[in-house]
Amino acid sequence: MRKGPVIVVAVVAVLFIISLISRMSGVPEGTSTFESLASAFWVTFAAFLTLAVMSFLYKDNPFYKFAEHLYVGVSAAYWMCLGFWTTLVGNLFPRVSETLSNWFEVPYAGFHPHYLIPPALGIILLMRLSPKGGWISRWALAFIVGTTAGLNLPRFLRSDFISQISSTFMPLFVQWQGFGHFFSNLSLSASGQLVGMLSNLVIFVGVFCGIIYFYFSKEHKGAFGVGSRFGIWILMVTFGASFGYTVMGRISLLVGRLTFLLDDWLGLIQ
């Protein structure tokens, strides 16, 4: 047996004992030894999975593969159970069989023959497992892909296309009531009129120069080239902000896991 797994198991056992002692010292009165052991075991197991996932930073190893396979298996089982109880028991059985509705104790809604189409497509989709009848599953797969594309197209057009375009149509002069009102209420507040006008102006110029960069029917030189280069800067700043936001989210996840290891597991943070 390799020394590596033995060392890891020994380290986990030692940390389990430390975690158990830490948790038993802070448990409220009335908590049994079995509950403390169970709590320490599950917290240690969660910490082991966290360290196993983080071990991928070193290299691919059996501990990372174990955590990865466990995550995939648990996720598949969870979604399968959720789909069974919400889709089959919640929607299908009450509309195709009174016996099954009574068996699962859900109210019977009456027989609707068109509800037999989804399970038929599901059975056809399972033909994928058959070496000779796998081609039949393409009909169900084509129906799923076509239906998904048709349902998502209006949503994407509304949220990612029309909404984005309408967000760029904004007044350059926010709440404009004349120069006298503008200078008398001049403020650098984020909700002020000056900041609002500058924000809308930056969005307008950024969108306009970004469109110029992607206009390839005219050579990018002169004033057109200046606008194109400024569009590149706008795009780079946008990509940098998006990347920074993504990195910040990942760092937040890392801080959460480190807090779990040092506080919930080892109890080092008071």
Residue 22 has what pLDDT?
65
Report the distance separating Cα 180 and Cα 194, nearest Å: 13
Q: What is the pLDDT of residue 242?
A: 94
- The DSSP secondary structure of 29-70, one letter per residue, reads TT--HHHHHHHHHHHHHHHHHHHHHHGGGT---HHHHHHHHH
Asked whether the whole model's pTM tops 0.75, one would answer no
Residue 202 contacts residue 214 (beta carbons within 8 Å): no
More confident residue, 178 or 65: 65
Predicted local distance difference test score (pLDDT) of residue 79: 94
How far from 74 is each of 64, 68, 77, 79, CA to CA, in Å?
Answer: 15, 10, 5, 9
Give the model's confidence band at 170: pLDDT under 50 very low, under 70 low, under 90 confident, else very high.
confident
Q: Is residue 61 within 8 Å of 55, Cβ to Cβ? A: yes
CB of 109 closer than 8 Å to CB of 94: yes
Q: What is the pLDDT of residues 119-165, one digit of tens each?
A: 898 889 888 888 888 888 899 999 999 999 999 998 888 888 888 88
Q: What is the pLDDT of residue 112?
A: 85
67-123 confidence digits (pLDDT tens): 999 999 999 999 999 999 998 898 888 888 888 888 888 888 888 888 888 889 888
At residue 247, does pLDDT exceed 90?
Answer: yes
> What local confidence, expressed as pLDDT, does residue 43 receive?
85
Give the pLDDT band of residue 240 (cuts 50, 70, 90). very high
Predicted pLDDT of residue 36 = 72
Residue 176 pLDDT level (bands cut at 50, 70, 90): confident
Could you read off the pLDDT of 21-40 as tens digits, one per residue? 666 666 566 667 777 777 77
At 4, the pLDDT band (50, 70, 90 cuts) reads low
Q: What local confidence, expressed as pLDDT, does residue 175 receive? A: 78
Q: Is 10 a residue whose pLDDT tops 80?
A: no
Contact between 197 and 172 (Cβ < 8 Å): yes
Report the range of poorest mean pLDDT among 14-18, 123-127, 202-206: 14-18
- Average pLDDT over the chain, rounded to whole? 85
Distance CA 109, CA 97 (A): 9
How high is the pLDDT of residue 29? Answer: 63
Which of 93-107, 133-147, 171-185, 241-255 comes out lowest in average pLDDT? 171-185
